[in-house]
Each structure stands twice: as C-alpha cells, then as structure tokens.
Amino acid sequence: MVGRRAKEVGADIVLVVGDITNFGSVEEAEKILSSILEVARVPILFVPGNCDPPQLLSYSPRSQNLINIHAKKRRGARERGMLREGGIYSLKAIFRGDEE
C-alpha cells in the first residue's frame, strides 16, 4: 500500500519511521522495506523503531536504495527540509552517501 501510494503521487523518496516490524527479525524488516521499494521504485529511507530488532539500528541493507538513516547525517548538493511533529529535520541529497 505504501509503495503504491508513493508511485501514485510521484514521490521522490519514501520515509519509513519506526516499527517496521512487530518485534520481528532484521530479515523481516528488509523484506517489508524491499516490497515497498519494488512497487514505489524510489529510494526508501528508514529509521527503526522500538518494536524493531536492535540489530536494525546499525544494519546496512543489501540494496543501495534501502537507506538506514538512524543517527546519520548525509551531505549533498541540495538540502531539503522536512517538518515532523516535534521539530524540523533537514534531509540532504542522500545519493552521494557522504557521512559527517
């Protein structure tokens, strides 16, 4: 459903924030994220939640289009702002993969 909606609206990225699984495994989380990627066909940025396995916090998925942004800053040519309850976060062009 998320991937289909992203495709319908022409999203550039999909941001998945927390609780990807319900106390599932890293493999289950990657399967869920990969299924979104398969339909949306845009990069999927994700942050694990408290119901996800702790190993997911530092996990690097096999696909370069599944991007774990937990506790990372990324640099790029363009900066995008994103408003979220509790504050404003800055996303920079993630495609270079430079980390500060």
Query: Domain residue spans in the chain?
Result: 2-71
Name residues whose C-beta falls within 8 Å of residue 76's C-beta, 6 or more positions apart in sequence.
92, 93, 94, 95, 96, 98
CA distance linking residue 58 with residue 61, whole number of Å: 10
94 pLDDT above the threshold of 50:
no
Give me the chain's average pLDDT, please: 77
**What is the pLDDT, as a whole number, of residue 74?**
52
Confidence of residue 84 (pLDDT cuts 50, 70, 90): very low
2-34 pLDDT tens trace: 888 888 888 889 999 989 999 999 999 999 999
Is the whole model's pTM more than 0.85, yes or no?
A: no
